[in-house]
Chain A
């Protein structure tokens, strides 16, 4: 696995993501939705923090990230271009990681402009920056995990819509599972709570950076990417 090959794959994927109008549409929708939800509640609550924004973020990412990632493998399978990619002297790992990084950078670019909200809040009130940076670290990890899940869903099928629905389902399950723990039998409680992304994300977003939460997100990314790798190896 060489960084150079990953970079070449990354560069091509990144260009093609930004050449397509899909990326801009999704980024616009994301910013409009987050902006509207954030500011409609901001003046009512009258608190100078970003807590509402970070509470909402996982759910919005649940729907926007799969829209970014759904085409990554599915489109290649459908058009047959995967056959060229797979027969070039590249390792499958290099392809998976290159594609993952390109999509992840796109989601970072999508989230980055929301930092303006923080500057806005700090201009009207006394903002505690700790939870904000924690929140953005959490957003970085969370979007990475969702991107990896989306990539895995896309590697399963040649139909983009199916890929979208699979990844939304997985991301949605992970986002809400620790809100529906009432339905889970007691002895399984801790597993389901630990599985939920919200449990880990919200603790990082409070500004508490715990290695367990970081390990959780990194292992979610690793498992999803490894699954995509296995699927693309077995693809026939």
Chain B
């Protein structure tokens, strides 16, 4: 559906996207993740025909964005970052304007406006000016605009930034709902969001693809190691530390005294929970807590984006 080929973009001397290649099949929800300035927005802007690429190109359903721009744009619905819609227009007028540009017929237009106002929950604000809307409503209007012509591809640049948790949940459910039939590409820097909505995640860093795959695949590729949290009572700090250090596979022991409780953090290359339990049992220490920390998304993200490449 979308084929990004060797895409490079320079802003004067600054390289925003560095020979990126990516194939996105039809019907996929793809999350573009990355730190600020990684080149997410730039990639989306080139895809939507707003910026010309310096080198390489993107094919949208076979149309080259460099010279078949109009054909490519017809297939894409785009919501730019922070939804910059004309502030002085009424929401209804705006929707109608976009419907006209998208070439919807008169009866078709009315029906589509009804559908969208229900889907995006903007029925109550149709008669208000855009400037009087809250950020969440503005974002929803932006989403309705992007979906006006029922495009095959939906491109959303940080659709949930600046929204409250309820609104985020709503936008996410809308994305999931429409993602059943459409190809959706959205950028975000909220990791849990990507995990909740995406079929596939691409992490970009410094204009290059740092990782590509489903969320589970990404987690297993990033070697975050095991981290075990352990809380004990009635134990001697030095004694315990020495004993734990001797267990095979323990790389590092960290201890904090917390009242009469000792909090340990052990890092290891394998799962040590069983051995730790037996050790503690033998010593008659009181075990308050034993927990293996999950490899968090934040860790995966950190590892993939902080590596010097």
User: A123 contacts the other chain (Cβ, under 8 Å)?
Assistant: no
Contact B48 A79 (CB under 8 A): no
Per the bound structure, the CA–CA distance linking A127 and B93 in Å amounts to: 47
Contact B101 A83 (CB under 8 A): no
Shortest C-beta distance, A27 to chain B (Å), equals: 18
Contact B52 A236 (CB under 8 A): yes
Per the bound structure, the CA–CA distance linking A19 and B90 in Å amounts to: 11
Binary contact readout A79-106 vs B (1 if CB under 8 angstroms, 0 otherwise): 1110110111111000000000000000
Contact B70 A89 (CB under 8 A): yes
Contact B97 A80 (CB under 8 A): no
Residues from chain A with Cβ under 8 Å of B88 in the complex: 16, 19-20
Contact A79 B87 (CB under 8 A): yes
> With A16-B88, A84-B145, A88-B73 in contact, is A236–B102 under 8 Å at CB?
no
User: A109 contacts the other chain (Cβ, under 8 Å)?
Assistant: no
Contact B85 A86 (CB under 8 A): no
User: B173 contacts the other chain (Cβ, under 8 Å)?
Assistant: no
Contact A86 B49 (CB under 8 A): yes
Beta-carbon nearest neighbor of A92 in chain B = B69
Contact B84 A79 (CB under 8 A): yes
Residues from chain A with Cβ under 8 Å of B78 in the complex: 84, 87
Contact B49 A87 (CB under 8 A): yes
Binary contact readout B69-113 vs A (1 if CB under 8 angstroms, 0 otherwise): 010011010101110111111000100011011100000000000
> With A16-B88, A79-B84, A81-B84 in contact, is A87–B100 under 8 Å at CB?
no
Residues from chain B with Cβ under 8 Å of A88 in the complex: 73, 98, 101-102
User: B51 contacts the other chain (Cβ, under 8 Å)?
Assistant: yes
Residues from chain B with Cβ under 8 Å of A112 in the complex: none
> With A8-B97, A8-B101, A87-B49 in contact, is A81–B73 under 8 Å at CB?
no
Binary contact readout A1-41 vs B (1 if CB under 8 angstroms, 0 otherwise): 00001001101100110011000000000000000000000
> On chain A, which size bracket covers the interface?
20 to 34
Contact A80 B101 (CB under 8 A): no
Per the bound structure, the CA–CA distance linking A6 and B87 in Å amounts to: 21
Contact A83 B73 (CB under 8 A): no
Q: How many A-B residue pairs have C-beta atoms within 8 angstroms? Tell me.
A: 59
Per the bound structure, the CA–CA distance linking A15 and B86 in Å amounts to: 12
Shortest C-beta distance, B142 to chain A (Å), equals: 8
Beta-carbon nearest neighbor of A2 in chain B = B103
Shortest C-beta distance, B123 to chain A (Å), equals: 22
Shortest C-beta distance, B92 to chain A (Å), equals: 13
User: B285 contacts the other chain (Cβ, under 8 Å)?
Assistant: no
Q: Which of A5, A80, A89 contacts B73 (CB 8 A)?
A: A89
Binary contact readout B138-166 vs A (1 if CB under 8 angstroms, 0 otherwise): 00000001000000000000000000000
Contact B101 A89 (CB under 8 A): yes
User: B277 contacts the other chain (Cβ, under 8 Å)?
Assistant: no
Beta-carbon nearest neighbor of A86 in chain B = B50
Beta-carbon nearest neighbor of A79 in chain B = B84
A52-100 interface (Cβ within 8 A of B): 79-81, 83-84, 86-91
Shortest C-beta distance, A66 to chain B (Å), equals: 21
> With A19-B88, A91-B70, A236-B11 in contact, is A83–B97 under 8 Å at CB?
no
Residues from chain A with Cβ under 8 Å of B51 in the complex: 236
Contact B50 A87 (CB under 8 A): yes
Residues from chain A with Cβ under 8 Å of B101 in the complex: 5, 8-9, 88-90
Contact A89 B50 (CB under 8 A): no
User: B233 contacts the other chain (Cβ, under 8 Å)?
Assistant: no
> With A12-B97, A90-B101 in contact, is A80–B48 under 8 Å at CB?
no
Shortest C-beta distance, B253 to chain A (Å), equals: 52
Residues from chain B with Cβ under 8 Å of A83 in the complex: 45, 50, 80, 84
Per the bound structure, the CA–CA distance linking A11 and B99 in Å amounts to: 14
Shortest C-beta distance, B207 to chain A (Å), equals: 16
Residues from chain A with Cβ under 8 Å of B145 in the complex: 84
Shortest C-beta distance, B124 to chain A (Å), equals: 22
Shortest C-beta distance, B149 to chain A (Å), equals: 8
Beta-carbon nearest neighbor of A81 in chain B = B84
Per the bound structure, the CA–CA distance linking A89 and B102 in Å amounts to: 7
Shortest C-beta distance, A137 to chain B (Å), equals: 33
Q: Give chain A's interface residues, CB within 8 Å of chain B.
A: 5, 8-9, 11-12, 15-16, 19-20, 79-81, 83-84, 86-91, 236
Known contacts A83-B84, A90-B101; can you find 9 more A-B pairs with CB under 8 A?
Answer: A9-B101, A12-B86, A79-B84, A80-B80, A83-B80, A87-B73, A89-B70, A89-B73, A236-B11
Sample of 24 A–B contacts (CB below 8 Å): A8-B101, A11-B97, A12-B86, A12-B97, A15-B89, A16-B89, A19-B88, A79-B86, A80-B80, A80-B84, A81-B86, A83-B80, A84-B80, A84-B84, A86-B50, A87-B48, A87-B76, A87-B78, A87-B80, A88-B101, A89-B74, A90-B70, A91-B70, A236-B51
